[in-house]
């Protein structure tokens, strides 16, 4: 695909981001656009590799290899190179309901398995995807397409995050009447309240798509928690099928001395309240401010990075990000070959901003917290840290072991726990008496998505555990397909 010699003629280029010093002053998206001629050159780098791994969507060594929703990447790269933007958008929408989301927040496992990436920088797949859909919105090509006929079947989708939205979109396309229940005051789930505005604009990107879904006939009931405003039994009684897409929102805690101190918070509480403040135009009662504080973020990953970026925009006094794992190598290690996801050192937007503000990457590696220290009024004042080394035990497991003599105390008034999630919250699952797996997730086989209750399906993080946005889209589309088959006896959904 693309120009046969494009990968030889053109180097990998990405659009410039707004400078870190400028963008930390506001909550606007920090990515800039690239001129069309440059985008066409980047599409030309797609090298007609014969056996493209970019859209395989498999797991290798427990990590995504290629696109989990099987985007037709070589096809739309070729179309962009040829300037056929509307045709590229049609190809993109064949597999992806919401490319404006993945084009902004997906970590791009497709690029990690790009054949060109074996010995050259890979094709800029993620950026091209984002530009295709943004161009489509600008040209007015993205419009509501309600189904011509309705089946008379009613489906409830619980949760309006990535899995819930893709489930709802597909089931609505099949002609079913879909109602999405969301306990927050706005729909979007993780896309609305879990990802800060500078990565994913709420009004210009998320709300825009939600309006189109409503125009297509999907009903969103916000401020409605199953088990409170509506019982689980009412859900079963009033709908022909139910799809649970509640996410894995139970955060991993750090039960060390001083955990109860004022100033120690879960990362998602911090991020959610911050987005709520930005949307409402004023701080809510649960707003947590980093302004003027020495902030310690415990945990890496996207959530930790978002805490870093948010704290900087608040105007924090200092910032440290603590990671228990070692620093990744600058290049692929021998045991991390292509086409696996490259586990290499990267500076994400938050670390770039912290380095611009304080002079260095804020992360410290092979470190853990052992104690939180407070004052007489129960307010956080410091965190005790210690170095660790990973040691193999008698069972062959690698476990962290504290290194004697490396203890130190760091001044802090705000600690944000960003150590991942344990699984879905349990009250709804208990109310439905659903079978769960050993990790507390809903038990439902991938590809089938059927739970232990006949007409109840599950998709996304509540079924597979914490994962990527793009896997949630994969699961939502799959659950919709199987739900449609259950309702109609057959399905045409992809």
Q: What is the pLDDT of residue 47?
A: 87
CATH homologous superfamily for the domain 154-249+422-488 = FAD/NAD(P)-binding domain (3.50.50.60)
CB 46 within 8 A of CB 74: yes
Tell me, what's the pLDDT at 64? Answer: 83
Band the pLDDT of 26: cuts 50, 70, 90.
very high
The dihedrals phi and psi of 409, each to the nearest 5 degrees, come to -120, 130
Average per-residue pLDDT for the chain: 96
Q: How far apart are CA 206 and CA 211, in angstroms?
A: 9
**Residue 100: which region, alpha, beta or left (left: phi > 0; alpha: psi -120 to 50)?**
alpha
pLDDT value, residue 1: 61
Neighbours of 298 (CB within 10 A): 24
Structural contact between residues 161 and 188, judged by C-beta atoms closer than 8 angstroms: yes
pLDDT digits (tens, 9 = 90+) for 321-377: 999 999 999 999 999 999 999 999 999 999 999 999 999 999 999 999 999 999 999
Does residue 315 surpass a pLDDT of 90?
Answer: yes
Q: What is the pLDDT of residue 175?
A: 98
Cross-strand partners of 63: 60
Label residue 60 by pLDDT band (50, 70, 90).
confident
Least Cα distance to 318 among 384, 413, 383, 386 occurs for 413
224-260 confidence digits (pLDDT tens): 999 999 999 999 999 999 999 999 999 999 999 999 9
Inter-residue contact 343 to 330 (CB < 8 Å):
no
Q: What is the pLDDT of residue 101?
A: 98
Q: What pTM does this model have?
A: 0.95
Domain with CATH 3.50.50.60 in the chain: 154-249+422-488, 253-419
Supply the pLDDT for residue 430: 94
Do 320 and 364 touch, CB atoms closer than 8 A?
Answer: yes
What mean pLDDT do residues 205-220 have?
A: 98
* pLDDT of res. 240: 98
Under 8 Å between Cβ of 267 and 418: yes
pLDDT at 306 over 90: yes
pLDDT at 44: 96
Phi, psi of 124 (to 5 degrees): -80, 65
CA distances in angstroms from 15 to 200, 463, 480, listed in the order given: 17, 36, 36
In this prediction, residue 3 carries a pLDDT of 86
Whether 425 has a pLDDT exceeding 90, the answer reads yes
- Per DSSP (E only), the strands in 216-360 are 219-221, 241-244, 250-251, 264-266, 294-298, 318-322
Q: What is the CATH code for 6-139?
A: 1.10.1060.10
If you average pLDDT over residues 284-291, what whole number do you get?
96
Supply 200's token pair.
């994913």
Angstrom CA distances, 257 to 23, 295, 383, 430, stand at 37, 18, 10, 31
What number does CATH give the domain 253-419? 3.50.50.60
């Amino acid at each position: 695909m693309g120009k046969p010699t494009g990968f030889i003629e053109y180097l990998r280029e990405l659009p410039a981001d707004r400078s870190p010093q400028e963008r930390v002053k506001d909550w606007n998206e920090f990515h800039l656009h690239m001129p069309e001629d440059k985008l066409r050159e980047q599409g030309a780098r797609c090298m007609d590799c014969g056996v493209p791994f970019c859209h395989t969507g498999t797991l290798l060594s427990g990590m995504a290899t290629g696109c989990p929703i099987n985007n037709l990447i070589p096809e739309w790269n070729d179309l962009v190179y040829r300037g056929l933007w509307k045709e590229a958008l049609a190809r993109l929408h064949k597999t992806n309901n919401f490319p404006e989301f993945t084009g902004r927040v997906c970590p791009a496992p497709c690029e990690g398995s790009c054949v060109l990436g074996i010995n050259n920088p890979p094709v800029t797949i993620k950026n091209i995807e984002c530009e295709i859909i943004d161009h489509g919105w600008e040209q007015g090509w993205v419009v509501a397409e309600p189904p011509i006929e309705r089946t008379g079947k009613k489906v409830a989708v619980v949760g309006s995050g990535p899995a819930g939205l893709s489930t709802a979109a597909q089931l609505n396309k099949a002609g079913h009447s879909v109602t999405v229940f969301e306990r927050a005051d706005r729909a979007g789930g993780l896309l609305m309240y879990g990802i800060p505005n500078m990565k994913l604009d709420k009004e210009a990107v998320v709300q825009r798509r939600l309006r189109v879904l409503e125009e297509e006939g999907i009903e969103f009931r916000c401020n409605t928690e199953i088990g409170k405003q509506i019982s689980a039994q009412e859900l079963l009684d009033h709908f022909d099928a139910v799809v649970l897409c509640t996410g894995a929102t139970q955060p991993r805690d750090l039960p060390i001395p001083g955990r109860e101190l004022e100033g120690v918070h879960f990362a998602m509480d911090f991020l959610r309240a911050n987005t709520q403040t930005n949307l409402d135009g004023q701080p809510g009662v649960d707003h947590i401010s980093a302004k003027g504080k020495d902030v310690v973020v415990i945990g890496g990953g996207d959530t930790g990075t978002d805490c870093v970026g948010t704290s900087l925009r608040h105007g924090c006094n200092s910032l440290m990000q603590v990671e228990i794992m070692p620093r990744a190598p600058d290049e692929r290690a021998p045991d991390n070959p292509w086409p696996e996801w490259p586990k290499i050192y990267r500076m994400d937007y938050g670390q770039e901003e912290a380095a611009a503000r304080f002079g260095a990457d804020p992360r410290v590696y092979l470190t853990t917290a052992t104690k939180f220290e407070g004052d007489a009024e129960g307010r956080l004042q410091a965190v005790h840290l210690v170095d660790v080394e990973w040691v193999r035990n008698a069972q062959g497991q690698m476990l962290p072991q504290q290194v004697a003599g490396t203890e130190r105390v760091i001044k802090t008034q705000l600690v944000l726990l960003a150590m991942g999630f344990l699984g879905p919250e349990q009250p709804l699952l208990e109310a439905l008496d659903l079978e769960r797996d050993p990790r507390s997730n809903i038990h439902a086989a991938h590809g089938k998505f059927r739970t232990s209750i006949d007409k109840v399906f599950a998709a996304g993080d509540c079924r597979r555990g914490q994962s990527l946005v793009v896997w949630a889209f994969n699961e939502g589309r799959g659950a919709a397909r199987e739900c449609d088959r259950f309702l109609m006896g057959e399905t045409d959904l992809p």
